[in-house]
Structure 1
């Protein structure tokens, strides 16, 4: 077992509650870390990172709240919040895979995948030959060029491969873990839909990789430069799509008894994320146009005396600035009947499952 996986497992064993002061200190440290990772594919839309605290309230008896890891390697690479929905955990929403392809003395495997209508997650591992230049300590900024192609020929994702003129993605984030002792480079990708809920079911799909590359730092007296090193090849990896179960989005509406000040157009929980659309008003416009550089992009989920965090908040204006879209990671999916979303501006949105 790789050292980073074991270390992450050890961290997961400690589920003691933390104080509010400790949580804030952790968030402040984590906010600095987020400034450099993960990496993103740019989209042609104005977006801002914002902090939203989400408090989940249970109606009825749900039993003890447990947070199981997405998967040790995958969760660490993507820094994802843990899924709490029992239906996701029981059905292996994060699905183990075994597809392998060899080319140019490099083996690339698809180890895990998750997929819903709004996001696809991929965990890929490249195994390189001994003494490969790409494994030297001077290398960083690893990346893959690949496409995810469905069985009907639809190019769902084109990550700089040129294999499709257009794809269905709005954003791409990824993280990389090189293990030079084992000759491995692990990649974890989150592929998010350009339009909400438009990603198709994967059937007879495959991943076509055409290149693995890295940035080589060359430091000489009085001079420093970077050089791209790459390995070209043809790796075609089949996805066992029959094992990927489809989950319908869960709809939420404004709680009529809550006297919400903000007008919620829609709120939808996907297995991988939660999306809310709010009608714009002067207060919201002023709030979202302010500077969020010092905000902590975290969501806090509370249950009894425990507090857990979800990250990667994004806000964008939609429909000619008449709507604001809030998208964030969320692991509850179908677990909760009532959700309370509070903004740093002091506004609160009470939602009830439809």
Structure 2
């Protein structure tokens, strides 16, 4: 309330306008600073972060591996899916995991509250027939998960059907893009929530745009690195949002003892801090993998070469038979790398 001094009444009895406030089914205000609660939960954010953490790690290891084992004969090119945990199957395990986990997530969103999450207020409530603001978020999350489930179906179908080029990339990019759209269009309690989800929107948008860049320039490592980087940031930020929004920490309280925008203003500082930590972490991972492939892959190939040459005819001057025996002697998991290199390679052109 203005007392004529050009300032705001900071007594805690501030008159807050009801304009723009959504209402719950029982007629209570929701969706403005100081009104209502948050409809999501700590567990929702943790589970989303957990899934994205392992997805980002999976992509990161395989993209770096593909780059480090590429050569002029088999240059690096972008991939949508990769072998999961070294399990070689004729179908897309990554696609099946996307379908399964997304389906479980949808069931959890719509039935995890102990009852069906109807998107319309039930008969007998004060706002019967109107959209349920509290269940709206469950439906938003369900449709986002459905996008990823469709992406998984495309991954599996691509194994058996001759789909147009980049179909997998397109559907995965679309899933992240639609996720970003819903994050930005969501209804949030106050400025703290809005800032947290705005930064999540930026990370999800980054993943989608990076995958579009991979479609146009599949030979670009940096497009793949950006995809991984933004996916890592989504995982990290879901964990951070669980901590900021749902653990009741005084540092992030926007209402007690007085309405305070300070926590929201500090959120970008935390985000940038994790961006820097992630940059150093990815660089360390790349250098570690580069050292391993330089030392161990070459050592294995050279040892195999020496053993095989003792078993070859003396007139094998072309080296063709030697190369064949060398590749045949390698474990199955190493044959792909050997096929991409000369008989005794360095780790391609990157050493």
TM-score (norm 2): 0.21
Give the structure with the higher percent strand: 1
Query: Greater helix share, 1 or 2?
Result: 2
Larger of the two Rg values belongs to structure: 2
TM-score by length of 1: 0.20
